[in-house]
Amino acid sequence: MDKATIIGIVLTAALLLGAIAIAPGSSFAAFIDYPSLAVVVGGGIAATMIAYPMGPFLTMPIIVKKAILPNPPAMAPAIKTLVECAEIARKEGVMALENKTADIDDPFILLGIQMAVDGSPGELIESVMRSEMQATAARHSSGKGLLETLGRYAPAFGMIGTLLGLIIMLGNMDDPAAIGPGMAVALLTTLYGALVSNVIALPFADKLIYYAKKEMQIREVVVQGIMAIQNGDNPRVVDQKLSTFLSQKERAVKDAA
């Protein structure tokens, strides 16, 4: 679980609720209006559905789950696996790595190792692996785009809801006592739109961008490692080369393991 995401949502809720609680004359009930919420959330989702085909749209729950419960590959274990493969290839030859494939959990590393075992040229291995990276990046971009689209449309529907509320209020000007409450309800949709956009949709999209970049960095390490194995580099050189992608703290942890 991404603790920062949860803490950020809880902190935002606490700040908003605290501001409402300490404001003179305010009440929590005044900030709850289900029709306004339906216009913003339902309208934003409907507009996103119009903007995207049904297939990608239906992946939105999975995308949101990835932002809250990410499972990015770790770089240090990937480097360790690649160095072990380099040692085997150096001592017994690349073909001996076929016995190692059953122990490799990372499908991207497995792809490179299997191609090396099959005797594929280095240029082909690198080309295939980079094509896989591009396809993964495209999928990440599509998921990020869904959330960014929702983040753009939610405030717009907040404004639409506000305009609807104002039209309804102005149609009942014969009751001056209802103008104040009517204006408050009309403005709630703008508030809801801003919250959906700036607390959920856009921050989640930015979090997905962060993890996508992290995954691409790890995959670049894997490509470099596979090419080093293919070239028959010394395992110690492979370790030193790949460890340059780690921070000093991560290197210390890897060396201590």
Per residue in 143-199, pLDDT (tens digit) is 889 999 999 999 999 998 888 888 877 777 676 666 666 677 778 889 999 999 999
Mean pLDDT, rounded, of the chain: 85
Whether residues 19 and 110 fall in one domain: no
Determine the structural domain holding residue 24 and report its residue range.
1-32
Whether residues 143 and 153 fall in one domain: yes
Whether residues 10 and 120 fall in one domain: no
Whether residues 18 and 105 fall in one domain: no
pTM for the full predicted model: 0.81
- The 3-class secondary structure across the chain, one letter per residue, is CCHHHHHHHHHHHHHHHHHHHHCCCCCHHHHCCHHHHHHHHHHHHHHHHHHCCHHHHCCHHHHHHHHHCCCCCCHHHHHHHHHHHHHHHHHHCHHHHHHCHHHCCCHHHHHHHHHHHCCCCHHHHHHHHHHHHHHHHHHHHHHHHHHHHHHHHHHHHHHHHHHHHHHHHHCCCCCHHHHHHHHHHHHHHHHHHHHHHHHHHHHHHHHHHHHHHHHHHHHHHHHHHHHHHHCCCCHHHHHHHHHCCCCHHHHHHHHHC
Whether residues 59 and 11 fall in one domain: no
Provide the pLDDT confidence category of residue 90 given band limits of 50, 70 and 90.
confident
Whether residues 168 and 143 fall in one domain: yes
Whether residues 26 and 48 fall in one domain: no
The pLDDT value given to residue 181 = 65
Whether residues 14 and 117 fall in one domain: no
pLDDT for 236-253, tens place per residue?
Answer: 888 888 888 877 777 766
When divided into structural domains, the chain yields a total of 2
